[in-house]
Amino acid sequence: MKPVQPFLIRKKPEISWKGLQYDQSLTILIVDAGFGTLNYMVTDFPRKPKVLVDYRLSDNYHSAPNALVVLAFKSEGKPAPVLPSDFSADSLFDLSKFMLDNDLSDDLVGLSVIIVGSDAFAIERQRVKGSVDYCHSLLKKKLHHKVDEFYSRLPLHHLNSWMSITYQQPAISANVCCRKLSLR
């Protein structure tokens, strides 16, 4: 199975499965295993869903696939799970501690894995956030398919940054071969 591109999972997925009882009370988590973040959390699903962590996609900018793990815990008759007081969207999420703190260790009823690849959308989102600038990875993919001798001499496996170069040209006006040339 090929990894899904981040652009295709930018919206919150519909979560359902055969045998889902709509009067159940479940807690659903989507954990980004590669980056160690909690990307979505809803309690009392599907009866009266209460979103505690809004969905955010996996901006996988690595060349290796990344796993998003979808977990469903039964929470019938239990208090709603509580996030750690120091939780933030970008902090590392300790799933084991969360399960122990909320007495969920014996309540896992569903698990699914979404394998996420990388694409220009995810790379650009990371660059815009200022987290990382991996635009070179797109260049590396393109250049590996070239057979041109020039490209084969480049150490592409060591390429780890991308530079933008701008030339400032002063304005000039001159006569060249009976023509007036103006550069601004």
User: What's the CATH architecture for 6-129?
Assistant: Alpha-Beta Complex (3.90)
Yes or no: say if 82 and 41 are a contact pair by the CB < 8 Å rule: no
- Tens digit of each residue's pLDDT (9 = 90 or more) over 67-93: 889 999 998 888 889 998 888 888 889
> Of 48-57, 151-160, 172-181, which one has max mean pLDDT?
48-57
CA distance to 19, 78, 180, per residue, from 24 (Å): 11, 12, 80
Local confidence band at 149 (pLDDT 50, 70, 90 cut-offs)? low
Asked if residue 31 has pLDDT above 90, the reply is yes
What is residue 174's predicted lDDT score, i.e. its pLDDT?
73
Helix locations, 42-165, DSSP H: 95-101, 120-129, 136-144, 149-152
Residue 163: is its pLDDT beyond 60? no
Question: In this structure, which amino acid lies at residue 6?
Answer: P
The residue ranges of every structural domain in the chain are 6-129
pLDDT at 161: 52
